[in-house]
Structure 1
Amino acid sequence: MSIKVLVVDDSSFFRRRVSEIVAKDPDLEVIGTAVNGLEAVKMAAELKPNVITMDIEMPVMDGITAVREIMANTPVPILMFSSLTHDGAKATLDALEAGALDFLPKRFEDIATNKDEAIRLLQQRIKTIGRRRVYRPITRPVVTKPTSVPLSRPLSSPLPRTGSAAITPKTGTITRSSGKKYKILLIGTSTGGPVALQKILTKFPQDYPHPILLIQHMPAAFTPAFASRLNALCKIEVKEAASGDQLKAGHAYLAPGGMQMMLERAGSHGRLKVVAGSEDMNYKPSVDITFASVSKILGKETLAVILTGMGADGREGARMLQTSGATIWAQDEASCIVYGMPQAVTAAGLSSQSIGLEQMADAILRESAHG
């Protein structure tokens, strides 16, 4: 059965372009197009698509408002198209907060250097989220740092639904502390990661005992805005990583988009080196590269976690970490938006625990207590 797609954009050229790409895949079918958010809300209820592709800036009703309305009334997986600008980054994070599952750059040349590859990636993203269960966003209160600047609201917390009744997802094993001592926490993620990272990091106390390296597949224009949002919402300090950063306990360092983040020897925890990502690398930043660099320095004193995401980035880095004695955990399938990266490390026998997203923060805090 084909995945039914509703295409929403105020540009007739972009609607036609996306529709043609979707129609080229035998597993996908365009069942309608809408020119603004208000039309999208009505057509979502009438046509019941499996996936909606949504522009952000539109007349009558913008894409973020439309996502919020659709998710409140007729929840469906939504893929946002975004401009790679600072304002576009903030708007995309707002769309994820409203309940959208994923996003892609609106300019196809920003998706991939090769046109055919960009088309394939778009089709793949639509099929991946189209096979997921429907999610309703739940906004949860969080304790934030004292500040006089208005804070962004927390990103939505997806809750699986079947029909009209919400259900609680099955969670993985509740891990007990192993008693190991650690010096660093690593977290790698992709699709669904912004929501997952926020859910985990907002539960960490200000005095979390280790530095944290975050690798989220995200464009260069997005990582400063995402780091700023996390910093505003978390008790720990969160910043976009920069070369020369000396790692500190209770601080999280987000790998910059388009770059590679590595650990160098310096002091008790190490120092960061951020370099431009080479053209032949699929992921910039890459979980594999960061994990591999840490394996050579902190090895067995590392706790590494792989969260929701497409593909297998992190598997080979996790393999190197495991060889050096590190502890590897993966998010469980039931709580993932995309069970790709966690499945890759689990299937390879590298993960010692599969843990539900709701349990992950508590499990990390228990395991880190002996560091």
Structure 2
Amino acid sequence: MDDKVIKILIVDDSGFMRMVLKDIIEKQKDMKVVGIAKTGLEGVEKAIQLKPDVITMDVEMPELNGLEAVKIIMKKRPTPIIMVSSLTSKDSEITIEALENGAVDFIQKPAGSVSWTFRTVADELLEKIRNAAKVDVTKMTMRRIKPKKPRISTMLRGQKIVLIASSTGGPRSLDTIIPNLPKGINVPVVVVQHMPPGFTNSLAKRLDKISELHVKEAEDNEELKPDTVYIAPGNYHLGLKASGSKVYTFLDQSDKINNVRPAADFTFDLAAEIYKSNIIAAVLTGMGKDGAKGAFKIKHYGGKIIAESKETCVVYGMPKAVVEENYADFVLPNYEIADKIVELLGGK
């Protein structure tokens, strides 16, 4: 087999889905299905035996679900894994947890667990497989350093805002940053994570359970409150608008920016007009350049920009664009970002 051919293991309990995935993949000259597994347990065994370059992993399966299979594979034979998830509350929650435990990315089945319309996302699947094959899997298995939570002796001044942009690999970095922001920072935090509807809500709920700050999916026309993290909902740009001394959210379904919606550039641009120099923005792991134009505008007004360093990025794309344009004031591994945010807010 040609070294350039991506070897793929399909793990799915649905015979139909296995057939569709295999058909989509094997039409590509640069891909080859080297194995098929019907259960999570069989998937683990074949991952070790066949040594694939990429694994597509169903979420709900007998014997061992996708999350548990991911955990074992990442310990025994680390491999880039793409979760194949249906849009149910349970599946989206498991998918988010799988991303935090080593899965590289996920793709959503268009309509339920056995979808006759899965071919509509074929191009997206193939792009994700090619991108996953390039990921340095050691980034997914790095021992995550538990940062010391910054202490704040007094309530920080308000009138500031923290903005965070993330994409592929983002849930892992957010899982390191958000729970380590202490209550009492007294500012709102707005997160733009590239994800479809449903998954952003699951991400918000999971982070809320492990954080001192309140984490929620943003709603339309909602006043920004201090000590609250707002996750941009999937398929909507998240805008900010000022009314007197208050700032409100709004949801927007205008065209995609940087081929994504929500886009960080949309949020960063509007926030810069309102908060001027009182912004701390962090651009985390992800493909593409979303956040770079917004970072430029924030810098123009005197705000501060943090870029996640290559050391902890699953995909060093979005932060790299910010660094290469010299917009970054600080380039830090994800486990140092919460501490820097608090320091910049005046809490140390």
Q: TM-score, normalised by structure 1?
A: 0.81
The aligned residue for residue 53 of structure 1 is 56
Cα 1:62–1:85 shift into 2, 3 Å: same
* Contact 1:318–1:345 (CA under 8 A) maintained in structure 2: yes
Give percent identity, aligned residues only.
37
Give the superposed CA RMSD. 2.7
User: Which residue of 66, 71, 81 maps to 2:69?
Assistant: 66
User: Which residue of 254, 261, 266 maps to 1:278?
Assistant: 254
The aligned residue for residue 259 of structure 1 is 236
The aligned residue for residue 175 of structure 2 is 198
SS at match of 2:24: helix
Structure 1 position 23, deviation (Å): 2.8
Is it true that 1:225 corresponds to 2:225 in the alignment? no
The aligned residue for residue 110 of structure 2 is 107
* Contact 1:70–1:76 (CA under 8 A) maintained in structure 2: yes
Structure 1 position 267, deviation (Å): 4.8
SS at match of 2:79: coil
Is it true that 1:76 corresponds to 2:76 in the alignment? no
Structure 1 position 41, deviation (Å): 0.9
In the aligned structure 2, how far is the partner of 1:267 from the partner of 1:233?
34
Structure 1 position 17, deviation (Å): 2.1
SS at match of 1:334: coil
The aligned residue for residue 44 of structure 1 is 47
Question: How far does the alpha carbon of each residue in 1:95-120 deviate from its partner, in whole angstroms, 9 at most, with x for none?
Answer: 224422211102399xxxx9998333
User: Which residue of 141, 147, 159 maps to 1:159?
Assistant: 141
Unaligned runs of 5+ in 2: 146-156
User: Which residue of 289, 292, 295 maps to 1:318?
Assistant: 295
Is it true that 1:124 corresponds to 2:106 in the alignment? no
* Contact 2:158–2:226 (CA under 8 A) maintained in structure 1: no
Letter aligned with residue 80 of structure 2: P
* Contact 1:263–1:271 (CA under 8 A) maintained in structure 2: yes
Structure 1 position 279, deviation (Å): 4.7
Cα 1:17–1:232 shift into 2, 3 Å: same
In the aligned structure 2, how far is the partner of 1:36 from the partner of 1:278?
41
Aligned residues: 330
In the aligned structure 2, how far is the partner of 1:370 from the partner of 1:358?
18
* Contact 2:167–2:193 (CA under 8 A) maintained in structure 1: yes
Structure 1 position 287, deviation (Å): 0.6
Q: TM-score, normalised by structure 2?
A: 0.87
In the aligned structure 2, how far is the partner of 1:209 from the partner of 1:201?
14
Unaligned runs of 5+ in 1: 137-157, 161-165, 169-179
